[in-house]
Amino acid sequence: MIYGCQKNDRSAQEQLYKLFYTDMFSTCLRYTSDHHAALTILNDAFLKVFLHVDQFNDRVGGFRPWLKTVVIHTAIDYTRKLKKQTHIIHIDHVPEEGADDFDLRHNWKQEEIGEHLKMLPPVTRMVINLFAFDGYTHKDIAEQLNITESTSRWHVGEARKRLRNSMDLKQAKLVHHE
């Protein structure tokens, strides 16, 4: 299939798109709450993949991680465009995360956290996705989004605070209805 894509075979491209659509679309939805924007990111990413599939080297790693990297970078580019319209808060001091800090990856179901991520401001959502789900360091995030490391830390802290509050509210509503 990848060989077919390298030869610009439309049916191979369609097969590849269908094979990875669901997985990569869910990645895009982590970066934006708008389904249309997520689809734009996904389609832009696949266009990049089809134009540069010859750069994929299976000796370096698998195709899925390479594709996911392209999708993430496309989401970052999309957010950069939004960032030009959004004011970013820069902070000099960010308190260290405490030992009681909750874990975004393990305590919540993916669908559950996805709904709460949609409520975050776009840049905060981007930073928490890069940090908590995709394993980027604050230094990497700062370089990718052209912000300071302390601003990246602030966005992670702010996301965690808002997500915790959102989850607490949801839990309180569930208990109240029982």
Instruction: With beta carbons less than 8 A apart as the criterion, state whether 78 and 41 touch.
Output: yes
The domain boundary, picked from 85, 111, 139, lies at: 85
Return the pLDDT at 176. Answer: 54
Q: Give the span between the Cα atoms of 103 and 2, in whole angstroms.
A: 37
Neighbours of 6 (CB within 10 A): 14
How many separate domains does the chain show? 2
Closest of 19, 156, 16 to residue 5, by C-alpha: 16
Q: Domain of 101: which CATH number?
A: 1.10.10.10
Q: What is the mean pLDDT of residues 71-86?
A: 78
Q: Domain check: are 76 and 142 in the same one?
A: no
Neighbours of 127 (CB within 10 A): 29
Q: Domain of 63: which CATH number?
A: 1.10.1740.10
Q: What is the mean pLDDT of residues 59-69?
A: 89
**Full residue range of the structural domain in which residue 168 is found:** 91-178
Q: Would you place residue 92 in the very low, low, confident or very high pLDDT band (cuts 50, 70, 90)?
A: very low
Question: Residue 123 to residues 22, 40, 69, 116: CA-CA distances in angstroms?
Answer: 24, 18, 18, 15
Q: Give the span between the Cα atoms of 122 and 25, in whole angstroms.
A: 17
Q: Domain check: are 17 and 36 in the same one?
A: yes
pTM score of the predicted model = 0.60
Q: Domain check: are 3 and 73 in the same one?
A: yes
Compute CA 53 distance to the chain's CA centroid, rounded to the nearest angstrom: 22
The region of weakest confidence among 63-72, 101-110, 130-139 is: 101-110
The region of weakest confidence among 13-17, 38-42, 50-54, 162-166 is: 162-166
Residue 54, pLDDT above cutoff 70: yes
